[in-house]
Structure 1
């Protein structure tokens, strides 16, 4: 028996010689058509795609509470039981603190329910349809410069009572902003609706109706709080000796707490978005800002007088703030028109 050579009965099957590689290298292998397709090479050598999603660090419990959604109470308790510090367990074991825990649980349930409803009506990040980083930076720079100029005027020409007056005007502005916005927004929306082309008005009308329903929710919540406060005043006049009056007061506290939580979570997004006016037209938040700043200037002039300083400085301080806000708002409208095709007139 011989091994090897041309007479070897165990020769491998015949294989043709490889083709001529030519000037461009060997030809690629034919595609594999079997049941399993092997991974194909990336067409570019670098960088190769990452087959795994990027690592996102897990935030703590408080970080998730600051996020978009709050977990239900059952899930929150389960997560807190796994991650609660030992000092917290010692706090819960003290008998004098047992009455605090049920109150916190009930408050969390009310707060979560009100927060979900408030953010469903007024999404926190819906105040701009087109985010422009340059406009945002300019707005922050204008706000900082206005605060610096106000402080410089108070230091140079102000009196001790002017500082307390500035704080009072700030609190009054916070309280006046929602009702003033509710009165100004329909006027500005009506003007923009009149300027809009005819083919865009049906869509705008649908969004106006949706924004109007959200605004009615806000107005209804404020009205209900005043009504509940009036009912409490009537109960105090009736006296607290009867049991029915006490139970009625307890029953009124339940919607009152929910409404207060609702207004607390809805006021910020509602004011920033102009009660969802950005969904009606992308330029409405900028236009509403320009209108509101002049209204605030007139209210401040009527309530506290002109800014401190010589007449020329006082006039420039009174006109310069609203004028700079209007300039930034008009530049924002210009960028919306040139970059995103948003037009005020048809």
Structure 2
């Protein structure tokens, strides 16, 4: 265990430090409104309890498995949905903003773009290094004149950057998703806008992948639309409070 610990601990510490520097743990809100956060938590717990009750009353064993599969699907799909959705929402907000607001947003947009490149660069590096190491090892094994130590040296040389990149993605994923790759720093209303867009995208994905939720037709429609509609209502209420209480309107 000594060698893995000596190699693994510095790698994990370096990856965690880089992830926290690029994606701070509390960087997902420019303005934190305690009342909005309480309402968001209450809505989330209510939605979770209602979903569980519907599964218990109307669900079948395969519905439980489908709910777990959709949960893991959301974890996997969320970063890629953000990569596609965030630039569109930011572009609309940027076009709508006043000239003074645009000047203030430009350097923050460049910083958010660099953060996204860091994340997806590390994410892509892991399979690329694994494939490159595998192909090179096969070529060396087939080559009769290559020294016997080249394959383990090659595997060790690719294992270190591949492990660092995987640890960086693991440490950065939570803060990166919460801050939408630091685009939340561009404008105070962006987290609410992105949340309102993502819930409807997840509704479509869930409908395509898993179909309608269990229960009578009225319960199915209420379950399908009620969650995204309630999240959107809370998001617009948050935007209203940002404008009226903190002076952070969509154009400012």
TM-score (norm 2): 0.94
In 2, the alpha carbon distance for the partners of 1:279 and 1:131 equals 12
Mind listing any 5+ residue stretches in structure 2 that lack a counterpart?
143-147
In 2, the alpha carbon distance for the partners of 1:235 and 1:170 equals 37
Q: CA RMSD in A?
A: 1.4
User: How much does 1:236 deviate?
Assistant: 5.6
Paired residue for 1:133, among 34, 54, 57?
Answer: 34
**Highest CA radius of gyration, 1 or 2?**
1
1:295 matched residue in structure 2: 201
Contact 1:240/1:246, CA 8 A, preserved across alignment: no
List per-residue Cα deviations over 1:112-143 (Å, max 9, x = no partner): 11111111111110101111111111111111
Secondary structure of the corresponding residue to residue 248 of structure 2 = coil
In 1, the alpha carbon distance for the partners of 2:65 and 2:137 equals 35
1:264 matched residue in structure 2: 170
Secondary structure of the corresponding residue to residue 212 of structure 2 = coil
1:312 matches 2:218: yes
1:210 matched residue in structure 2: 111
In 2, the alpha carbon distance for the partners of 1:268 and 1:127 equals 10
User: How much does 1:102 deviate?
Assistant: 4.0
List per-residue Cα deviations over 1:119-171 (Å, max 9, x = no partner): 11111101011111111111111111111111111111111111011111111
1:201 matches 2:78: no
In 2, the alpha carbon distance for the partners of 1:312 and 1:103 equals 56
Report the structure, 1 or 2, having the larger helix content. 2
Paired residue for 2:5, among 85, 93, 104?
Answer: 104
In 1, the alpha carbon distance for the partners of 2:245 and 2:251 equals 16
In 2, the alpha carbon distance for the partners of 1:196 and 1:155 equals 47
1:25 matched residue in structure 2: none
In 1, the alpha carbon distance for the partners of 2:210 and 2:160 equals 39
Contact 2:130/2:158, CA 8 A, preserved across alignment: no
List per-residue Cα deviations over 1:292-336 (Å, max 9, x = no partner): 111111001000101111111101110000001111111111111
In 1, the alpha carbon distance for the partners of 2:69 and 2:245 equals 41
TM-score (norm 1): 0.69
Secondary structure of the corresponding residue to residue 309 of structure 1 = coil
Paired residue for 1:234, among 95, 119, 135?
Answer: 135
Secondary structure of the corresponding residue to residue 167 of structure 2 = helix
